Every structure is written in structure tokens, then in C-alpha cells.
């Protein structure tokens, strides 16, 4: 048996197409163009690439893309002042500060300074509380994208056992909440979990978001399970040449694909859905800020 590969790139393209159509409807009906502001501190190469891709896809979706760059040694106060300026700018509907930020800045303080209605990363404690309470709010982009892939793959999720390996605020906790909302029975595992392998083997849906390269082995996967690998780990790849690296997930992909019914690859699985869901959140935030029913946009 060999599992079906869940194509995150194709799903992200389809989602961005729907977002563009809804954005055009927002413009034609209400004369409003969503604006997404991204703030980058320093010049981390990976962040530079990510921000550039965000800008390209934001414009392709028909939205305004605003970028603000601060030096590596900028003070935390200067960054927080910039965030406050964007909070008060009505042309800005979504605010994203690219993480990681330099060590002299508090990531949590930055998150809490962004208005919850403009928090398109879905990390503000208010939005986390809404999600935990089953209320509408901004949902973190990566778990939102993972949940959409699971729904697209399996359809009805009610009654399925989902095991989430990882308990971060960014992925583990929110994906657990999203799957609970779909009436799954959810188990969250972490570094202190006993019998981790046995717990994973009980999963109909196995989500790996722990940041340990290829932790989940072939014999940890229940036959016929759906495996969602959120991990992105860069390893040395001497077989490719001196100094070369490769990306791997938290799952031993080559082994797990023999057992699972479907699985996301790394790269090309959950990753492409993250920016698409950022654009979706920006569109949702724009509607909420202007008292427009999202359903009116034909999404």
C-alpha cells in the first residue's frame, strides 16, 4: 500500500483563487480594498524570502501590500510605535510582524500590541480565547491551513481520533481546537507524554508539529491514517554536495507513506497553505472592521 500525497500547493492555489474572487466582490460592492501590513526587523534571509512571497501573493489576490522594515538594532519601543501607527490606520486591515524578532524584543509584547481585529496571525490572547471558546476570531494560519487540508481529504471528521504531537500556541493547541470543533476526539502529545508511539498508533488523524526531524516513524502510523506533517527542519545533505541542505518534516515520509492512506509532503504540504490562509484572514478582518457579512462576498 502507498498513501495518497496531499497536494498543498494545488489546494493553496484554489484557495487563493477564491480569495481573489471574493476580494473583487468586496471592491465592486463596497469600494474597499483590503490592506495587509508586514513589519520586518533585521535582514534574516529566510524571513526576507517569506516576506517577499507574502507581498507577491497579496498583490495577486487584489489586496494592498505594505512593507515596513526596521534595522536589526531598532529598539522595541520603535517597533511597538510602528504597530500602534498601523493599529490606527484605517487603510490597514491586517498587521503581521515577521517572527523571529531580535532577542532584545519581546515577541509576546508585540503580539499583544496588535489589535485583535487586525491580528491576522491569530496569535493575540483574545483570539486564542475566542478559538478555545468556539467563537469567531482570527485563527493562526498554519493550523487553519492544516485543518482545511484534513477536511478536503476526509470530508466528515466527526468521531475520528486525532492525535496532535506538539502543544505550541502557534500550531499544536490551535489545531487541536479546530479538530475539536469538527467533533473529533483529540489527544495532545508532547515531550512528557508516556508511550508516545502507542498513542500515535491509535490516531485516525496524526498531526506532527513538534520540530524534531523525522520523529514519527513508519511503525508509529496506524494503517489507513491521514498524516499531516507541519514540521520544517533543515538538515545537512552531503549526498547533494558540500554545504548542501534539505528540508524534512517531523515524519519519516518515505516510511509513513507506505502505511498512511494520505500524507502531506515537506515541502509542498501544509507550507503553501499558510500564506493563503493569511490572505483569507485579511479578507475576514476587513469585513469584520467594516461590518460586512463575509458570506456576502460569495466565498
Active site (catalytic) residues: 54, 98, 121
Provide CB contacts within 8 A for 33, sequence distance 6+: 23, 26, 27, 62, 63, 64
Largest CA distance in the chain: 56
Neighbours of 267 (CB within 10 A): 15
Cα torsion for 150, 155, 160, 164, to the nearest 10°? 10
Helical H segments across 137-296, by residue range: 141-154, 172-181, 196-201, 253-256, 271-289
Do 22 and 283 form a contact (C-beta atoms < 8 A)? yes
How big, in percent rounded to 5, are the helix, strand and coil portions of the chain?
45, 15, 40
H helix or E strand, kind and range, residue 4: strand 4-5
CA separation for the pair 246, 235 (Å, rounded): 5
Amino acid at each position: 500500500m502507498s498513501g495518497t500525497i496531499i497536494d498543498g500547493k494545488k489546494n493553496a492555489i484554489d484557495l487563493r483563487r477564491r480569495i481573489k474572487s471574493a476580494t473583487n466582490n468586496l471592491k465592486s460592492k463596497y469600494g474597499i480594498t483590503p490592506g495587509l501590513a508586514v513589519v520586518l526587523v533585521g535582514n534574516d534571509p529566510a524571513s526576507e524570502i517569506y516576506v517577499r512571497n507574502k507581498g507577491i501573493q497579496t498583490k495577486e489576490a487584489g489586496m494592498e501590500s505594505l512593507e515596513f522594515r526596521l534595522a536589526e538594532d531598532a529598539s522595541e519601543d520603535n517597533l511597538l510605535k510602528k504597530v500602534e501607527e498601523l493599529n490606527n490606520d484605517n487603510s490597514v486591515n491586517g498587521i503581521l510582524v515577521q517572527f523571529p524578532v531580535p532577542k532584545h524584543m519581546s515577541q509576546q509584547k508585540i503580539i499583544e500590541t496588535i489589535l485583535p481585529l487586525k491580528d491576522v496571525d491569530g496569535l493575540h490572547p483574545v483570539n486564542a480565547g475566542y478559538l478555545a471558546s468556539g467563537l469567531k476570531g482570527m485563527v493562526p494560519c498554519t493550523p487553519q491551513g492544516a485543518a482545511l487540508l484534513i477536511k478536503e481529504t476526509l470530508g466528515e471528521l466527526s468521531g475520528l481520533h486525532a492525535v496532535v504531537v506538539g502543544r505550541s500556541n502557534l500550531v499544536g493547541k490551535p489545531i487541536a481546537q479546530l479538530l475539536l470543533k469538527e467533533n473529533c476526539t483529540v489527544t495532545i502529545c508532547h515531550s512528557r507524554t508516556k508511550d508516545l508511539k502507542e498513542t500515535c498508533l491509535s490516531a485516525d488523524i496524526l498531526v506532527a508539529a513538534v520540530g524534531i526531524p523525522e520523529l514519527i516513524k513508519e511503525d508509529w502510523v496506524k494503517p489507513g491514517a491521514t498524516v499531516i506533517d507541519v514540521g520544517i527542519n533543515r538538515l545537512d545533505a552531503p549526498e547533494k554536495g558540500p554545504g548542501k541542505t534539505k528540508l524534512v518534516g517531523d515524519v519519516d515520509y518515505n516510511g509513513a507513506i507506505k502505511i498512511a492512506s494520505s500524507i502531506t509532503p515537506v515541502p509542498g504540504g501544509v507550507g503553501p497553505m499558510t500564506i493563503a490562509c493569511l490572505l483569507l484572514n485579511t479578507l475576514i478582518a476587513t469585513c469584520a472592521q467594516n461590518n460586512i457579512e463575509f458570506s456576502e462576498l460569495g466565498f
